[in-house]
Amino acid sequence: MTAIQNPATTAAAALETPRGETGTKIPLHRKLTWPRIAESIAKHAVLIVLSAIFLMPLFWMVTGSFKTQADIGAFPIKWFPHTITTGNYAYGLSAFPILQYFWNTLIICIPSMIGAALSSAMVGYGVSRIRWPWRNGIFTILIATMMVPFYVTMVPLFTAYRSIGWTGTYLPLIVPTFFGIPFFIFLMRQFFMGIPEALTDAARLDGAGEFRIFVQVILPLCKPALAAIMLFQFLASWSDLLGPLLYLTKSSQYTLSLGLTFFQGAQGDSQTGALMAVSTIILVPIVVLFFFAQKTFIQGITMSGIKD
């Protein structure tokens, strides 16, 4: 008697090519053909060209930090230094108080990361897992605020912070992150909606409150999303120029971005190499952080709440 085959097994076998010499089955979708090879080569060529275009300013900055002023201003352009010098780094580190500005930047970045992650997670949980009237409407209004440019609210915010004595301090750059950021709230909401409702419903049946569910059930599942938010906020605070320029009044409070701007204005075009050297040093922590957090960052953007 002929055995009845499983339809799923039959369908899977139909998608495979005959066995090769080694007996290994080769999936049909992995079979290489000349059109697919040409398409793959074309895609990689386009990506390589675009990557080269975007990396060109970075390459020019790093190589320029080792060039003399004559090589930087030479025409035709010299892509590599004719004479390698480290004098740009020596002069830049002596004229630019990088350690003080680095510490000032961390004072803003670290609390901002914590505030953005906690507040956005709590608000995202409230608009995704808790049922309450007008939830979707309020969330829509919240997301609509992303379309309002900072330049529109800049003067009212400065007036408000000056009236309570916050100008000249780091508070205007830190405290607002503890009240939620629309883009991060949207990111957390989408992440929470990927978590099965059965988890929170089971916790409610066991008598757990919403805060306990949020802390003990939901937060352990959203570590990649929280890491992505913290990385986003760190990069935003690290490279922020307009905020410190608006609220900080003393040179001893300057951040790296603001200090670099004044350093450029003070040196002019006579110390372009030193400016590139300082910019390269400032860029190193960001590059190192991204390479170490790249996997977690991508998971936080793409993965769902629970893997099957």
> pLDDT tens across 71-122, in order?
777 777 777 887 788 888 888 888 888 899 999 999 999 999 999 999 999 9
Residue 25 has pLDDT above 60, yes or no: no
Rounded CA-CA distance 140/153 in Å is 20
Q: What is the pLDDT of residue 10?
A: 40
Mean pLDDT for the stretch of residues 294-300: 69
Q: Locate tokens 């009212």: which residue?
A: 156
Residue 307 has pLDDT above 70, yes or no: no
Q: What is the pLDDT of residue 295?
A: 73
Tell me the residue type at 210: E
Query: Higher model confidence: residue 297 or residue 39?
Result: 39
Label residue 278 exposed, middle or buried (CB < 10 Å: 0-12, 13-18, 19+).
Answer: buried
Q: What is the pLDDT of residue 116?
A: 93
Q: What is the pLDDT of residue 3?
A: 45
Mean pLDDT for the stretch of residues 31-35: 75
Residue 6 has pLDDT above 60, yes or no: no
Could you tell me if 199 and 217 are in contact, meaning their C-beta atoms sit under 8 angstroms apart?
Answer: yes
Numbered ranges of CATH 1.10.3720.10 in the chain: 95-302
Residue 158 has pLDDT above 90, yes or no: yes
Averaged confidence pLDDT in the chain: 81
| Band of pLDDT at residue 16, cut at 50, 70 and 90 | very low
Q: What is the pLDDT of residue 14?
A: 41
Q: What is the pLDDT of residue 303?
A: 57
* Helical pair 272-302 and 34-64, crossing angle rounded to 10 deg: 140
Query: Cα 135 from chain centroid?
Result: 28
Mean pLDDT for the stretch of residues 140-147: 89
Element (H, E) at 202: helix 197-205
Mean pLDDT for the stretch of residues 49-55: 89
Q: What is the pLDDT of residue 301?
A: 63
Q: Locate tokens 């390459």: which residue?
A: 59
Q: What is the pLDDT of residue 31?
A: 64
Note the pLDDT tens digit of each residue in 239-285.
899 999 999 988 889 999 998 888 887 776 677 888 888 888 888 88
Reference 143, options 113, 174, 104, 187; nearest CA is 187
Phi/psi-derived region of residue 240, left when phi > 0, alpha when psi is between -120 and 50, beta in every other case: beta
CATH superfamily placement of domain 95-302: MetI-like (1.10.3720.10)
Query: Higher model confidence: residue 298 or residue 145?
Result: 145
Q: What is the pLDDT of residue 157?
A: 92
Query: Higher model confidence: residue 2 or residue 63?
Result: 63
Reference 121, options 43, 36, 180; nearest CA is 180
Note the pLDDT tens digit of each residue in 201-249.
888 888 888 888 888 888 888 888 888 898 889 989 998 999 999 999 8
**Number of C-beta neighbours around residue 113 at 10 A:** 21
User: How far lies 202's CA from each of 122, 208, 304, in Å?
Assistant: 20, 9, 20
